[in-house]
Every structure is written in structure tokens, then in C-alpha cells.
């Protein structure tokens, strides 16, 4: 009886291990997680402010069992895995009558995860630093953004010359809303593109359904 009382007293403090993610090393093994992929509609209304939007995406979707279950996917043949997973997500959206065509175009716009904010290539060197004042930080931010935009333009002009150094795959998609209309929130797993590493990190994009432009992003380093 005392043991039962002690267990009940400690129960709120106990944590139970989550199931280990399924190992997916080969493209052919994607089918074993097909039923776990999530495509759903939501009543989410994304915040208008960019930083608030990024925080909302992180707090809502990052480090949740729904995305952590895919941490067993590896970097091996990751581009083929992206294509297979993207196709399965679009198929699920079609089966649920959830604007599958705009999901397909939104996934395509992400270019296998190589976007301006996740291009996976070095930006040109800049002279400024963050400094200690609001003025120096703002000047550094502007110079850094200009360098990033310069490099991204070069990537778009000649993508073969600037291959990404990261491996990314999409695992879930949620239809949501923002001030301009509908958007797809696309959850992805990623890692440095070294051989057969598990994709333990997360990146989240929000893509406008009308323009297929990225309107929100967050992710871990």
C-alpha cells in the first residue's frame, strides 16, 4: 500500500520515453511511414508581425511528437526522399480535398529546402559587426541582409554552382490562414548533408497559397 501511495505521489514527476523514430535509410522505406505523415486543415490565423509569426510557428509545431517521430529519416538520397514525401503529402491533401494543387506548388517553391533563409551556402564577407548600439546593430543587419540577397540571386541564376550543404525533407503540412488569405504551413526535418545522418533538426515554412511566396519561417540551427 505504501508503494502505491508513493507511486501516485511521484506520478506527476515521472516522464515516459517517446517511441523511437522509425529508421528510414532507403527511399523505398518511405512507405513504412506514409500513414504517419500529417496533412490537415486548421483554424490557425498567423500573426501579422514577422517575428511574432516566426515565434508562433516555433511554439506551435517545433519539438512536438508529431514532428519528432520522423527523426529516423536519414540524409541518404535525401532529394529522392523529398520528392517521395512531397508526393505523398500532396496525395493526402487530394484525398482530403485540401487544396492539393497549391500544396504541390508551395512544396515546389521551397526548392528541396534551399530557400533564401536556408540556402546552405556561405554569404559574401561583410565589414560590419553587431556592435553595442541600436545603430550599429541595425547597420549590420542591413549589410548582412544585402549580402544574403546577393548570394541568393547568384544561387537562383546558377544553382549548380551553389549546391546546398543541408539535407531537408517535408513531413507534414497544415492548411492555415494569414491576413492575405490561405497558406500552407510545411514542417520539415533537416541535417547537414553528410552521409546517412539522422534528420534531427526542424524547419517550418509558411507559404502563401495565391503567390507561393514564403511568408513565414523558423527553424533550429
* H or E segment to which residue 206 belongs: strand 201-208
Domain count, the chain: 2
pLDDT along the chain (221 residues), means of 10: 40 56 96 96 96 96 96 97 98 98 98 95 89 90 93 95 96 97 98 94 98 96 76
Coil, strand, or helix at residue 145? helix
157 & 171 share domain? no
157 & 193 share domain? no
Grid coordinates representing 110? 521551397
Q: Which of 147, 163, 179 is the last residue of a domain?
A: 163
180 & 151 share domain? no
Angle at 83 between CA 45 and CA 77, to 5 degrees: 125
Q: Residue 88: inside a domain, yes or no?
A: yes
Distant-in-sequence, close-in-space partners of 146: CB < 8 Å, separation ≥ 6: none
Adjacent-strand bridge partners of 99: none
Task: Give the per-residue pLDDT at 7.
Answer: 37
Range of the domain at 94: 21-26+36-114+166-219
Q: Residue 13: inside a domain, yes or no?
A: no
48 & 139 share domain? no
pTM (2 d.p.): 0.87
Task: Give the per-residue pLDDT at 129.
Answer: 87
Calpha distance 46→178 (Å, rounded): 5
Task: Give the per-residue pLDDT at 10.
Answer: 40
158 & 62 share domain? no
Coil, strand, or helix at residue 94? helix
Amino acid at each position: 500500500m505504501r508503494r502505491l501511495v508513493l507511486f501516485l505521489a511521484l506520478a506527476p514527476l515521472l516522464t515516459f520515453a517517446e517511441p523511437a523514430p522509425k529508421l528510414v535509410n532507403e527511399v523505398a522505406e518511405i512507405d513504412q511511414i506514409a500513414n504517419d505523415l500529417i496533412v490537415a486543415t486548421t483554424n490557425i490565423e498567423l500573426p501579422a508581425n514577422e517575428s511574432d509569426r516566426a515565434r508562433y510557428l516555433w511554439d506551435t509545431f517545433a519539438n512536438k511528437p508529431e514532428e519528432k517521430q520522423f527523426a529516423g529519416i536519414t540524409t541518404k538520397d535525401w532529394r529522392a526522399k523529398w520528392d517521395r514525401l512531397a508526393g505523398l503529402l500532396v496525395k493526402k491533401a487530394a484525398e482530403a480535398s485540401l487544396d492539393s494543387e497549391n500544396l504541390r506548388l508551395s512544396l515546389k517553391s521551397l526548392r528541396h529546402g534551399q530557400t533564401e533563409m536556408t540556402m546552405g551556402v556561405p554569404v559574401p564577407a561583410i565589414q560590419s559587426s553587431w556592435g553595442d548600439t541600436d545603430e550599429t546593430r541595425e547597420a549590420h543587419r542591413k549589410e548582412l541582409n544585402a549580402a544574403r540577397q546577393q548570394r541568393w540571386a547568384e544561387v537562383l541564376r546558377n544553382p549548380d554552382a551553389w549546391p546546398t550543404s543541408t539535407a531537408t525533407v517535408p513531413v507534414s503540412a497544415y492548411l492555415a490562414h494569414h491576413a492575405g488569405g490561405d497558406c500552407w504551413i510545411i514542417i520539415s526535418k533537416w541535417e547537414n548533408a553528410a552521409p546517412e545522418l539522422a534528420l534531427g533538426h526542424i524547419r517550418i515554412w509558411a507559404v502563401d497559397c495565391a503567390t507561393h511566396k514564403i511568408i513565414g519561417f523558423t527553424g533550429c540551427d
